[in-house]
Chain A
């Protein structure tokens, strides 16, 4: 397994040094692993903090900037960050108007953010939390750690970020974030496993002629394995499970997300098929975003996320954003 790294132990720190060098609009604390927008805390604004294991870039560090996150805490590869990082981030972005923690539903992220929220409140920072759990591949959530947080994280961070940028109070930013999560569903497929630097190879086996339907962003298994399907067949399958769970009545935002090793040529071809099926099902697509946004290292494959939006959410989605990984109108 060849990787463009020095040694596995410094992969995260090396990436953070790169972010620091390439994005002077960010303050990157390599030692303490916190990425903060340089103009934080923004007067009168609720602070948005997210974080999680590294290996999903541009999530979350790539989404720090005006109109989205105020800070991100990258953990080790696929390992949640620790409370110290989150408390540090909260303190750096709190302007006295409180901080919202955006947490993907994984046991480690939840436990660490819960501890951090308590510690931050001890320091006099008002903290609200929103849990992202959009992955419909997890069907028996009673007997598992529950639905995982995947592509909807981008929608939550963008839309809640826009609300915060407008000066909405913590309570409203939190309720908008919850609404976005509630109206979002995702489903992913893996064509190849991902490889972590510390393991030095694939973290699970996926035979050459098969794909994993419903894969998680750490390579967690989904609903089933099948013989390799065409883009058309995958779109039929994925859209069906998402639409049947979400049952959208309004137009949707669509994210056609690459898992890290699937080129744009394939993603756009897949996006065409997804649009076709959505059209057949009378689901109107208000906006589409195509690219690698919530990745799983070098996994090949894609996920789709739908977020049902009203005029208010669509307006917030369209609002200007300026980050390393997502940028428009600003």
Chain B
């Protein structure tokens, strides 16, 4: 574990969560074209545009109505994504953050372990909503390894970031079974999943906020 990031018994406060989501908004905006290009190959070429619009709304809402707790921060962000993104990404990312936020309750400070558990609850909700399993070439393939790395005995934010990135890359040889890419069948093989890629950006932003 890198010495500069929060230790297991450290606490994470609301400003940490604001840093996380602001970093996510910046990186989604920076990578929007790449996300859309990835989506153009196996989807319908709108993932970057949609995520950029959603996270811009998140950043704006957090500034306009500053939340009082980590949980409230994630719930507000999730609500913005649901009401601004559309497509499958809106409900899925919105559910991820809302469910994680609900799991945190109204505690003002939480531990990294509590965040790992909350994210696990969020990821489970995403899996249930989308009906996807690991290996289906979806955002789960980046999110699941990330929460496992974060929640593990030697877990760290940096390790979660690396696991998500590796998970996103691992979608390249997979056959898509969910969403619009599933209609490509064999032709989906060889392309990185745009949803797993944006998930890796979200987790990378978490690692960035922790540094």
B177 interface residue (CB < 8 Å to A): yes
**Contacts A107-B130, A198-B49 hold; do A81 and B86 have CB atoms under 8 A apart?**
yes
Among candidates B44, B130, B184, residue contacting A78 with C-beta atoms closer than 8 Å:
B44
A143 to chain B: which residues have CB within 8 Å? 177, 182, 185
B30 within 8 A of A: no
How many residues from B make CB contacts under 8 Å with A?
Answer: 30
Contact A112 to B90, CB < 8 A, known contacts A76-B49, A199-B36: yes
Of the candidates B82, B130, B184, which one forms a contact with A82 in the assembled complex, judged by CB atoms under 8 Å apart?
Answer: B82
Contact among B86, B92, B130, B178 with A75 in the assembled complex (CB-CB below 8 Å)? B86
**Residues of chain A lying within 8 A (CB to CB) of residue B82:** 82-83, 115
The 8 Å CB contact of B85, one of A82, A148, A220, A221, is A82
Number of A-B contacts (CB under 8 A): 102
A273 is an interface residue with CB less than 8 A from chain B: no
A220 and B177 within 8 A (CB): no
Candidate in B88, B183, B185 with the most chain A CB atoms within 10 angstroms: B183
Residue from A83, A107, A111, A198 within 8 A of B180 (CB atoms): A107
Are the C-beta atoms of A82 and B83 separated by less than 8 Å?
Answer: yes
State whether the Cβ of A140 lies closer than 8 Å to any Cβ in chain B: yes
Knowing A79-B86, A79-B87, the reply to whether A221 touches B49 (Cβ < 8 A) is no
Tell whether A218 is near chain B: CB-to-CB under 8 Å: yes
Residue numbers in A under 8 Å from B178 (CB-CB): 107, 145
A188 within 8 A of B: no
Residue count of chain A within 8 Å CB distance of chain B:
34
A183 an interface residue at 8 Å Cβ cutoff? no
B179 close to chain A: CB less than 8 A: yes
CB distance from B11 to the nearest CB of A (A): 33
Q: Are B46 and A145 in contact (CB under 8 A)?
A: no
Chain B residues lying within 8 Å of A216, measured Cβ to Cβ, are 180, 183
Q: What A residues does B53 contact at CB under 8 A?
A: 76
A221-B130 Cα distance, complex, nearest whole Å = 22
Cα of A148 to Cα of B183 in the assembled complex, Å:
10
Residue of B nearest to A52 (CB): B86
Q: Residue A83 contacts which of B49, B83, B129, B183 (CB distance < 8 angstroms)? A: B83
B102 near A: Cβ within 8 Å? Answer: no
Would B92 and A196 count as touching, CB distance under 8 A? no
Residues of B within 8 A of A112 (CB): 86, 90-91
Give residues in B with beta carbon < 8 Å to A: 36, 40, 44-46, 49-50, 53, 82-92, 129-130, 177-180, 182-185, 187
